[in-house]
Structure 1
Amino acid sequence: MDTGVRPDRRPAIAICAWDPTFTAWDPVEDLSGEPWNPVGARTLPIPGMASAETLAAALSALLAKGECGALLLVGQTAHPDAFRLQMRAENRRLDHSDRLDHTGPGVARATAPAAEIVRALADAGLNALAASDAEQDAGSYILYRILNDLPDGPASPSIGLIRAPLNAPNAKVQLAVKTAASAIARHLAPLSRPHVA
């Protein structure tokens, strides 16, 4: 029976502020209760969790199931003034006592289009830079876990981490996240049409 409802073929991008106390990013713009979506994609808002290990495992599982083609992690930076797009994460345990994965690479590189995101942020009037240094916090730990769990191959999802300066007003954080997500979404392909037997 045809219900008349067409499947949503837009690719999905998960957006997650890993720290549940960081409330500057709110995916719901208005009283509709519907999350904001970038042009050509749909947003999967993922709530932060107190346990970085649990959140990293949940996000890795979401990506492994193919439920989204991209992930943007959102958090804060210890550095002042500029939004920072973190380009890599180090192989360290959450408490920094040792390597997280003794057989994994020492550094994992984010797969999101860094140069394009930084350009888009600048075009939006935001002070932004791409940073090679990994900040020693749960965001870097989660980023490494997710990148290290990705399968090899050309179809790897786009993974990025954007950090807001501590003094950034909520409106600028919202603009930065939307701008970064929109830049990522431009590289996502529509979902394939279902096969009809």
Structure 2
Amino acid sequence: MDSGPGPDRRPSIAICAWNPAERGWDPVEDLSGEPWNPPGARTLAVPGDASADVLADTLSRHLRDADCGALLLVGRTALPGGFRLQMRAENRRMDGTERLDHTGPGVARATAPVAEIVRALADVGLTALAASDAEEDAGSYILYRILNDLPDGPVSPSIGLIRAPLDASEAKIHLAVKTAASAMARHLTPLPRPSAA
């Protein structure tokens, strides 16, 4: 006898705009109140209305949950040009004066499929590049904290940071975030079926 739809086996992808003043990304795109989801995954919108340290802790906690397989940080770039996919973050305090973690690596690399995301953005008409330079702001700090806090294991979650140009419209930011999240979701595997009681 069919008891209705089974549990949602789609993994979640956390999406967070770390600047609370940034309104360019909102997962709820119409009056239905339902969040947008990329194919094969569920969107987990994380509000950016907290300090960088609290956000890093919150996002790391989400990534420790077996249901959450990816994280996309969303922000702005102060540099000219198009969208930027930041490939690494440096071991620096928020003020940039010294190392954040004296025993941690000097650089942590994003685990998202950056080249694939850049190609996908180009396919939808957005100029984008993979950037190896880290901008000195809360986004880079949070990215390093999260990457450095990842537990050792055979499979790492997909973690990326996309930066929009200062003059990018909300429509372009929405398109870029959706495109990047969809590219990341293609690499996620469905959640295991619950074991029988």
TM-score (norm 1): 0.97
- Report SS of the residue matched to 1:40: coil
Question: Where in structure 1 are there 5+ consecutive unaligned residues?
Answer: none
What is the match of residue 121 of structure 1? 121
What is the match of residue 78 of structure 2? 78
Residue by residue over 1:28-76, the C-alpha shift from the partner in whole angstroms, topping out at 9 and shown as x without a partner, is: 1111111100011110011102400010011111111223100000000
1:98, distance to aligned residue in structure 2 (A): 1.2
Q: Is the 8 A contact 2:117 2:184 kept in 1?
A: yes
Residue by residue over 1:139-193, the C-alpha shift from the partner in whole angstroms, topping out at 9 and shown as x without a partner, is: 0000000000011223110000000000001100000000000000000000000
Q: Is the 8 A contact 1:80 1:167 kept in 2?
A: no
What is the match of residue 37 of structure 1? 37
What is the match of residue 150 of structure 2? 150
Question: Where in structure 2 are there 5+ consecutive unaligned residues?
Answer: none
Identity %: 77
- Rounded to whole Å, the distance in 2 between the matches of 1:119 and 1:59 is 27
- Report SS of the residue matched to 1:69: strand
- Rounded to whole Å, the distance in 2 between the matches of 1:136 and 1:17 is 16
- Rounded to whole Å, the distance in 2 between the matches of 1:26 and 1:67 is 22
- Report SS of the residue matched to 1:13: strand
Matched, 1:183 2:183: yes
Residue by residue over 1:11-32, the C-alpha shift from the partner in whole angstroms, topping out at 9 and shown as x without a partner, is: 1100000111000111111111
- Rounded to whole Å, the distance in 1 between the matches of 2:156 and 2:175 is 26
- Report SS of the residue matched to 2:174: helix
Aligned Cα root-mean-square deviation (Å): 1.4
- Rounded to whole Å, the distance in 2 between the matches of 1:147 and 1:81 is 26
How many residues align? The count is: 197
Which segments of structure 1 move beyond 4 Å, counting only runs of 4 or more?
none
1:5, distance to aligned residue in structure 2 (A): 4.1
> What amino acid is the match of 1:110?
A
> What amino acid is the match of 1:76?
R
1:4, distance to aligned residue in structure 2 (A): 2.5
Equivalences for residues 1-197 of structure 1 within 5 A = 4-197=4-197
Q: Is the 8 A contact 2:67 2:191 kept in 1?
A: no
- Report SS of the residue matched to 2:68: coil
- Rounded to whole Å, the distance in 1 between the matches of 2:109 and 2:194 is 33
- Rounded to whole Å, the distance in 1 between the matches of 2:164 and 2:95 is 23
> What amino acid is the match of 2:67?
E
Q: Is the 8 A contact 1:112 1:184 kept in 2?
A: yes
> What amino acid is the match of 2:108?
A
